[in-house]
């Protein structure tokens, strides 16, 4: 599905080059659940952003179903994300002025979801145990509830790939467990998931885990 | 969803929206107020200048202007239709022509200047300006202040001049000149009484100064008069001309500088507020881009919101500016021909101008918005 070959990403910080990724090779097959782990600053998030078409690699190739994602124009990468990718972040980034319902609906609207939007939102909220919280604003929800709404927003338009960046970083153990279970269920239904974490307890969640050290892929299990 | 996001975001961040709205309302109200009052104070000054008299005397080259100023004998006669010919020549900048025939006569033992007048309008003159010198009926008199004093006349009183009965319709305010001693009457009646049918001696006119400067306007008029009417010359009353010109400068043009300063301040307020907003909403921008929305969509969210605020501000500013103009200027700015009022026809231009200022002010925040790196924003610690 996604093939990364000899991927590098170099930033400049205070005039000096910082190598976030160095020669990374990674294959993501359809239905995979890959956990990328590593210490802070190891390049996990940079790799995730590259896979999501949010940044261009400095060199190497990145292909989605044979098409060179790294060569896509800005609008084409936006279309790729719109059609195929759902992001979940550690900080959720829910829009504070919209209700939980509207936050999910925004995703459906922006991605041009063709089905019954209201029904889809209610179904998702029910699955996530949030049916009675849809009229609440993010500030009226607990951290765990906010993450569930962020998850619902990411998968609402049924993207094929979910890219999750430290999604349990702000959650307590119970919420993290619920969230992990939800991800596993999504994967069982055929959704491809790439999860970035520094929490080693989540390594068993996926069918595959890889470790990044200083921008280099070190181990794959 | 697009409009819902804008509406909810505006309500959520109402302080910023209010600040932008107030800044633009202040600009619009000042613009409308100054435009409104400038137009009317300009018109008021025009009328004051016009009441001082015509600023152009056109007479045959061989005529001695001293005779005009003193009401003396010896002015050559010219055909009355000369004025009509001049009024038809739109190449001349002069207008509001008045044909004049004068002669010093004895009225009830007093030596007064009998002055026959007939206004001749150009076809492109507006009705409100044609009343500079109102025509007189066959048996009507308009008296200079000194003539009225000598004759003991009042408005409505009857007078017999050269055997014909007249009644006084107006007594003019004093001007401390020969005009105070004039007895104005209908030109045809005057010609008949003096036995000079179809003839006049000189023409009064008003030169409109639209050529950029006094000297340029006068030179242009001189050039056209000598080419089209070579037997005539003109004498300008520079004080009236200059007063009129300065009135235009002070009432219309100087306000533009003030307006430019306020417009610049508004642009700065909106731009700085916009920059802050782009920074505050960067996560929202980042997550939208992660969802695959286009930059146009994100820019549209900012621009449409600002344009909506600009439109609202143009309505509020227009009403406020007009109201202030009416409330503050009506007591002292009296222009009979055109009262200070709400100039609704100006609203489309006001709204367009406000939107233009809003868009100009949003250019810097939009540039900042487009330069954001969403991947960096979404991974901020």
Q: What is the pLDDT of residues B76-92, one digit of tens each?
A: 999 999 999 999 887 88
Using 50, 70 and 90 to split pLDDT, how confident is the model at B336?
A: low
Using 50, 70 and 90 to split pLDDT, how confident is the model at B257?
A: confident
Cβ–Cβ pairs < 8 A, chains A and B: 74
**A52 CB near a chain B CB, below 8 Å?**
yes
Separation CA B373–CA B378 (nearest Å) = 9
Structure tokens at B33: 């107020």
Q: How far is B370 from chain A (nearest CA, A)?
A: 12
Q: Which of B53, B62, B152 is nearest to B100 (CA)?
A: B53
Residue range B1-10: average pLDDT? 90
Backbone angles phi, psi at B208, to 5 degrees: -85, 130
- pLDDT score for A221: 60
Name the residue of chain B whose CA is nearest to A99's CA. B8
Note if the pTM is more than 0.95: no
On whether the CB atoms of residues A54 and B290 are closer than 8 A, the answer is: yes
Using 50, 70 and 90 to split pLDDT, how confident is the model at B127?
A: low
Q: Which of A69-73, B64-68, B242-246 has the lowest mean pLDDT?
A: B242-246
Structure tokens at A51: 């896979």
- pLDDT score for B348: 93
Helix (H) or strand (E) holding B347: helix B347-370
Residue range B89-114: average pLDDT? 90
To test the contact with chain A by mutation, choose from B290, B296, B297, B301 the residue with the greatest count of A C-beta atoms within 10 A, namely: B290
B1–A110 CB contact, under 8 Å:
yes
- pLDDT score for A198: 84
Of the partner residues A74, A78, A96, the one whose CB lies closest to the CB of residue B12: A96
Which is more confident, B155 or B294? B155
Of the partner residues B297, B373, B378, the one whose CB lies closest to the CB of residue A89: B378
B297–A110 CB contact, under 8 Å:
yes
On whether the CB atoms of residues A171 and A144 are closer than 8 A, the answer is: yes
pLDDT greater than 80 at residue B128: no
Structure tokens at B123: 């076809």
**Whole-number average pLDDT of chain A:** 89
B379–A45 CB contact, under 8 Å:
yes
- pLDDT score for A166: 86
pLDDT greater than 80 at residue B329: no
**Whole-number average pLDDT of chain B:** 86
- pLDDT score for B93: 83
Query: What are the Cα distances from residue A27, in Å, to A52, A61, A207, B229?
Result: 14, 12, 13, 96
On whether the CB atoms of residues A205 and A177 are closer than 8 A, the answer is: no
- pLDDT score for B150: 95
Q: ipTM, 2 decimals?
A: 0.88
B8–A102 CB contact, under 8 Å:
yes
Q: Which of B92, B19, B109 is nearest to B56 (CA)?
A: B92
Q: How far is A16 from chain B (nearest CA, A)?
A: 18
pLDDT greater than 60 at residue B263: yes
Flag residues of chain A having pLDDT under 70. Answer: 219-221
pLDDT greater than 90 at residue B195: yes
Using 50, 70 and 90 to split pLDDT, how confident is the model at B271?
A: very high
- pLDDT score for B373: 84
pLDDT greater than 70 at residue B338: no
- pLDDT score for B381: 60
- pLDDT score for B92: 85
Separation CA A161–CA A85 (nearest Å) = 5
pLDDT greater than 90 at residue B60: yes
Name the residue of chain B whose CA is nearest to A90's CA. B379
Residue range B334-340: average pLDDT? 58
Separation CA A37–CA A31 (nearest Å) = 19
- Long-range pairs for B215-224: beta carbons < 8 A, 24 or more residues apart: B217/B93, B220/B93, B221/B56, B221/B92, B221/B93, B221/B94, B224/B89, B224/B91, B224/B92, B224/B93
B379–A165 CB contact, under 8 Å:
yes
To test the contact with chain B by mutation, choose from A12, A43, A54 the residue with the greatest count of B C-beta atoms within 10 A, namely: A54
Name the residue of chain A whose CA is nearest to B6's CA. A97
**A74 CB near a chain B CB, below 8 Å?**
yes
Q: How far is B277 from chain A (nearest CA, A)?
A: 14
Tokens 């999604």, residue located: A167
Tokens 């003396």, residue located: B72
Name the residue of chain B whose CA is nearest to A50's CA. B375
* DSSP of A159-175: -SEEEEESTTTTS-HHH
B375–A55 CB contact, under 8 Å:
yes
Helix (H) or strand (E) holding B193: helix B187-194
For chain A, what percentages of helix, strand and coil (3-state, to nearest 5) are there? 40, 30, 30
CA dihedral B271, B275, B277, B283 (to 10 degrees): 150
Residue range B229-256: average pLDDT? 78
B292–A85 CB contact, under 8 Å:
yes
Using 50, 70 and 90 to split pLDDT, how confident is the model at B230?
A: very high
Q: Which of A216, A179, A156 is nearest to B1 (CA)?
A: A156
Q: Which of A95, A194, A106, A192 is nearest to A157 (CA)?
A: A106
To test the contact with chain A by mutation, choose from B287, B289, B296 the residue with the greatest count of A C-beta atoms within 10 A, namely: B287
Residue range B159-184: average pLDDT? 93
Residue range B14-27: average pLDDT? 91
């Amino acid at each position: 599905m996604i093939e990364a070959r000899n991927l590098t990403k170099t930033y400049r910080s205070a005039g000096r080059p910082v190598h976030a990724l160095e020669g990374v090779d990674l294959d993501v097959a359809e239905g995979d659940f890959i956990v990328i782990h590593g210490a802070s600053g190891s390049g996990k998030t940079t790799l995730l952003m590259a896979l999501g078409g949010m940044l261009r690699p400095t060199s190497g190739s990145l292909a989605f179903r044979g098409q060179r994602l790294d060569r896509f124009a800005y609008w084409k990468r936006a279309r790729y994300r719109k059609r195929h990718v759902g992001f979940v972040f550690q900080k959720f980034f829910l829009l504070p002025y919209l209700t939980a319902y509207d936050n999910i609906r925004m995703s459906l609207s922006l991605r041009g979801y063709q089905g019954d939007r209201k029904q889809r939102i209610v179904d998702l909220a029910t699955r996530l145990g949030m049916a009675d919280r849809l009229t609440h604003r993010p500030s009226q929800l607990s951290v765990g509830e906010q993450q569930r709404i962020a998850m619902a927003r990411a998968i609402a338009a049924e993207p094929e790939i979910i890219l999750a960046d430290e999604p349990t970083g702000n959650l307590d153990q119970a919420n993290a467990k619920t969230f992990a279970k939800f991800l596993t269920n999504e994967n069982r239904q055929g959704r491809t998931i790439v999860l970035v974490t520094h929490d080693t307890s989540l390594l068993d969640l996926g069918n595959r885990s890889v470790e990044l050290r200083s921008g280099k892929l070190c181990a794959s299990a | 969803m697009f409009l819902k996001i804008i509406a909810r975001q505006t309500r959520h961040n109402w302080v910023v929206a209010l600040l932008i709205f107030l800044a633009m309302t202040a600009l619009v109200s000042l613009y409308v107020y100054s435009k409104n009052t400038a137009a009317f104070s300009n018109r008021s000054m025009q009328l004051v200048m016009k009441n001082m008299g015509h600023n152009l005397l056109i007479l045959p080259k061989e005529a001695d202007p001293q005779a005009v100023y003193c009401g003396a004998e010896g002015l050559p006669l010219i055909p009355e239709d000369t004025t009509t010919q001049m009024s038809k020549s739109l190449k001349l900048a002069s207008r509001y022509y008045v044909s004049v025939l004068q002669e010093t006569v004895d009225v009830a033992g007093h030596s007064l200047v009998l002055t026959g007048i007939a206004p001749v309008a150009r076809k492109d003159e507006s009705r409100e300006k044609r009343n500079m010198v109102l025509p007189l009926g066959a048996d009507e008199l308009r008296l200079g202040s000194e003539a009225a004093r000598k004759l003991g006349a009042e408005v409505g009183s009857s007078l017999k001049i050269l055997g014909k009965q007249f009644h006084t319709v107006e007594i003019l305010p004093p001007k401390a000149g020969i005009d105070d001693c004039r007895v104005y009457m209908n030109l045809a009646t005057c010609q008949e009484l003096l036995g000079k049918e179809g003839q006049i001696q000189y023409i009064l006119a008003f030169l409109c100064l639209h050529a950029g400067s006094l000297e340029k306007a006068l030179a242009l008029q001189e050039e056209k008069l000598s080419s089209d009417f070579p037997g005539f010359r003109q004498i300008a009353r520079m004080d009236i001309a200059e007063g009129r010109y300065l009135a235009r400068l002070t009432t219309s043009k100087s306000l533009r500088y003030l307006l430019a300063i306020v417009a610049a301040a508004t642009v700065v307020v909106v731009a700085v507020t916009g920059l802050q907003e782009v920074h505050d909403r960067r996560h929202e921008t980042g997550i939208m881009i992660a969802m695959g929305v286009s930059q146009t969509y994100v820019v549209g969210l900012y621009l449409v919101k600002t344009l909506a605020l600009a439109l609202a501000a143009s309505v509020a500013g227009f009403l406020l500016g007009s109201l202030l103009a009416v409330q503050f200027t009506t007591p002292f700015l009296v222009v009979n021909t055109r009262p200070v009022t709400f100039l609704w026809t100006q609203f489309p231009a006001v709204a367009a101008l406000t939107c233009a200022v809003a868009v100009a002010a949003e250019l810097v925040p939009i540039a900042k918005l487009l330069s954001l790196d969403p991947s960096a924003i979404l991974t901020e610690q």
